[in-house]
Amino acid sequence: MIKKIDNLGRVVVPKGYRLMLGLEPGDPLDVEVEGDRLVIAPHHEGCTFCGGASTLYPFLAKNICSECLEQIREMPTP
Ligand SMILES: [Zn+2]
């Protein structure tokens, strides 16, 4: 599919692609350059501490993974 970039640098993501990926207006996207390619992907929030994405628990509007949660639990208390 060929899309043209407008004079403000914007590109429309085709509706079919948005539906396939479950993208809604306002959703965050990762935008990266890989060689001569521009790669746009849905941003999935990982663990606040390690960036991992395995078993995430929400805490105060942040995500924490089970491994980091375990490390915090094992921290000595003053
Ligand atoms: Zn983590």
The DSSP line for 43-66 is -----TTT---SSEEEETTEEEEH
- If you measure from the C-alpha of residue 14 to the centroid of ligand 1, how many angstroms do you get, rounded to a whole number? 34
- Taking the CB of residue 64, how many other CB atoms lie within 10 A of it? 21
Band (pLDDT 50/70/90 cuts) for residue 74 is: very high
Q: What are the structural domains, with CATH classification, of the chain?
A: 1-43 (2.10.260.10), 44-78 (no CATH)
- If you measure from the C-alpha of residue 55 to the centroid of ligand 1, how many angstroms do you get, rounded to a whole number? 9
Band (pLDDT 50/70/90 cuts) for residue 41 is: confident
Structure confidence by residue, pLDDT tens digits, 2-13: 999 999 999 999
- If you measure from the C-alpha of residue 48 to the centroid of ligand 1, how many angstroms do you get, rounded to a whole number? 6
* Sign for the pseudo-dihedral over CA of 17, 21, 24, 28: negative
End-to-end, the C-alpha distance of the chain in Å comes to 59
The CA distance from 57 to 53, in Å, is 10
Residues at Cβ < 5 Å from ligand 1 ion: 47, 49-50, 52, 65, 68
Reply yes or no on whether the pLDDT at 64 is more than 90. Answer: yes
